[in-house]
Structure 1
């Protein structure tokens, strides 16, 4: 039986080229452009554009994880502090991410969505920091099985970037 890609012997050069991250950059760019397009078409403001961009980003990331939930859970439990204790959380995380994305897109209960985003992704960032400090070399499961790069500062930047955006949106709504 073949092992999961998260556990395969890794190429030393994996994740060293900017082209290795093209799927991630394209997802970010498309999410931002879609967010701006909808904000412009609905005469929304910057907060609306941020809501839509975060919503698209989180929904697409969730979808990519849902393509291969077992592979995602295998990789996620290697570094996420809660997934290490509960495999169920590894399976639920893409659904939680999808719910957050839909929350941003719908703009329903924004304070709850901001707080949940800050809590969940902030806690996730702690696990990434811990794994990076330990020198853990695994595939980043953040985009499911599409991205073949190591868990790295890119993952940390993704988590912290969304936390910062949630904090900005929350503060702008106060």
Structure 2
């Protein structure tokens, strides 16, 4: 069953992820989805949960006030949920970033003597990590809250979200400067292997969870696109280690 509630006090994506995370921890809650523009949260539960119980989940954050939504508001919300965006509209930020980084890497790998695959992959990895860490650092708290909703490490150790964003920045710089390629690729391989575990679990469970790959700036749903994104980093770091 699903119920929609109004939540006041949310001002940014970080608030959105915080409320989603807190309500998702309530017993018998299967999923909590926040619509920031409407200041509403839709809670899917396997048995009825009283409003006071959900309010209690937000008690440590007094600025978030949860109340029952008017019936008309719930009806409008339900009709809006049925409208779906096209695949490109949904993932446009990632498609554009991938396109730009891919183009730059192809240019970097093109030489008068032929195509340098190693240089192209190194530049791609540098661009990937620098751009993605940039968006995470724009709202580090929001990213950490979102990442803790599905990452296997961040769920138990929230600080890992902050550390992960800084690791991405460090890897981007290391690839750009070509610093110790063996260690850089080993770190990438290990970090991305750990990261993809939570992604796979979320996608296979078919729960609607926001992907934190671009931090709290864009509301992108977790899907096979996220798996491909992490998988590509794993494959490329493995290939570069083999070529070294």
Q: Structure 2 length normalisation: TM-score?
A: 0.65
Return the structure number with greater strand share.
2
Q: 1:36 aligned to 2:106?
A: yes
Larger Rg: 2
Aligned equivalents of 1:60, 1:42: Cα separation in 2: 29
1:111-130 alignment to 2 at 5 Å? 111-130=182-201
**1:32–1:128 distance in 2 versus 1, CA, 3 Å:** same
Deviation of the 1:171 alpha carbon: 1.0
How many residue pairs align between the two structures? 173
2:146–2:216 contact (8 Å) kept in structure 1: no
1:92-171 alignment to 2 at 5 Å? 92-171=163-242
Higher relative contact order (CA 8 A, sep 6+): 1
Aligned equivalents of 1:30, 1:164: Cα separation in 2: 20
Deviation of the 1:16 alpha carbon: 5.0
CA RMSD of aligned residues (A): 2.1
Once the two structures are superposed, what CA deviation does each residue of 1:111-146 show, in whole Å capped at 9, x if it has no partner? 111111111011110111112233332211111233
Q: Structure 1 length normalisation: TM-score?
A: 0.90
Q: 1:54 aligned to 2:125?
A: yes
Deviation of the 1:42 alpha carbon: 9.5
**1:129–1:16 distance in 2 versus 1, CA, 3 Å:** farther
Aligned equivalents of 1:105, 1:25: Cα separation in 2: 22
Structure 1 gaps, min length 5: none
Aligned equivalents of 2:135, 2:83: Cα separation in 1: 24
